[in-house]
Each structure stands twice: as structure tokens, then as C-alpha cells.
Chains A and B, each alone.
Chain A
Amino acid sequence: DTGVSQDPRHKITKRGQNVTFRCDPISEHNRLYWYRQTLGQGPEFLTYFQNEAQLEKSRLLSDRFSAERPKGSFSTLEIQRTEQGDSAMYLCASSLVHGGHGQYQETQYFGPGTRLLVL
């Protein structure tokens, strides 16, 4: 088990360019989450997948953002027409949800993040 990995670790881009980040979850984890963390703040939820289905998107996720998890394994997060306000750390987390009827027990494991700087 190698943990959650993210690529690239750092990205510098010019305003208006498109960027794409990749997340590889822990193998066999069925849930995958994306969060965004700005300086001095805690991470904020963006979206999540259960297997390949994207089940919820935060209002923080504008139309310029799109995420996919085509085969239920790795995921990509794309930002189109980047703005300076998109500069942040983008975090990916994965979890294995198990449990019967009712309450689920879940622990999310985070990757190292991708730090984006938009100039």
C-alpha cells in the first residue's frame, strides 16, 4: 500500500491557461475526494466520487472546474481558464466505505497535494 499520490506536486501557470491534476488513490478504495486549501485555512470540500460516479459537487466548484474518475481508480481535476483566485493547494483523499445498513465508518487518507500558482 503506497498511499495516495498526486501529480504534479507543483504547478505554475499563467492566467487563462488550463491545468489538469491527477490523483491515484489507495488501491481498492472506492471513494475519492477533492479538497482545496488556501493559505491559513483548512481544506474545503470540492467534490467526491463513489467508484466512477461523481455524486456531489460543492458550490465552490465553478463551471471552469471538472473532475473525472473514468474507471473508478485514478481521478483528474481540470481547471479551465485559470484565474489568480484559483491559486491554492489541491488535495485528494481516498477511503474505503464499508458497513451495512445505516451508519458507515470511514477514514479518509490524504495525498501530498498539488500546489497551484496562477500568475
Chain B
Amino acid sequence: GDSVTQMEGPVTLSEEAFLTINCTYTATGYPSLFWYVQYPGEGLQLLLKATKADDKGSNKGFEATYRKETTSFHLEKGSVQVSDSAVYFCALSEGTGANSKLTFGKGITLSVRP
């Protein structure tokens, strides 16, 4: 079945550092890929998405490119801020009109120190 694997955490960075969070997936079809973020005390929020190979999703300075050849969707940001401290989840959805349930990775906690 479908699965999503995220790098082990937690991750602690200094403000303005470069961020990469790795995500790889296994799927039978051609899934859509997502990054969701969960800030402390809040619900899951969609950060960005990509629906086909080579698409790049971007939002709030974060970027991720859908790489079919490596089945990856790594999240990057050039300069993190303290306000980026949160839990980040990579997810996929087959999205072919039937059940488009999301399959999530375990999530990774990012802490950014001033």
C-alpha cells in the first residue's frame, strides 16, 4: 500500500539557517503530494502541494519539488525563522476521484532558536 517516509527528527536550527526535510513515498499510481504544518496548539494547515511530476509547490518561503524518478518531495527553506518552529508532515493522496484519503508520514519537529 501507499506509504510516506520522513527523516528522523527532531531538527534544531539557528535562525536564518537553511532547512531541508526529506520525504520519500511509495504509491501505486500517480499521487498528489503535500506538506502540512502543525504549529503548537493549532490544527494541521496545508503548507504547499504538487499534483504531478516536476511540479514545484511553494508558500511562505518553503519549496518542494515533486521528483518522480526518486519518489521524493523534500521540503526546503533558505532562511528559517523562529516562527517556523512546528511539526511538519509529508503526505500523499492518490486523488483519482475515489477516496482521496491522505497518507501521512510520522512528522518531524522543527525548533528554530534565535
Contact = CB atoms under 8 A, between A and B. Distances in A.
A65 interface: no
A112 B102 contact: no
A99 B55 CA distance: 19
Given A41-B107, A44-B104, A104 B97 contact: yes
A91 B44 contact: yes
Given A33-B101, A97-B100, A107-B46, A42 B89 contact: yes
Nearest to A6: B43
Interface residues of B, number: 25
Interface string B79-113: 00000000001010101110111111111000000
Given A43-B102, A48-B101, 8 more contacts: A40-B106, A43-B44, A43-B89, A43-B104, A91-B43, A103-B95, A106-B93, A112-B42
A4 B42 CA distance: 12
B99 A104 contact: no
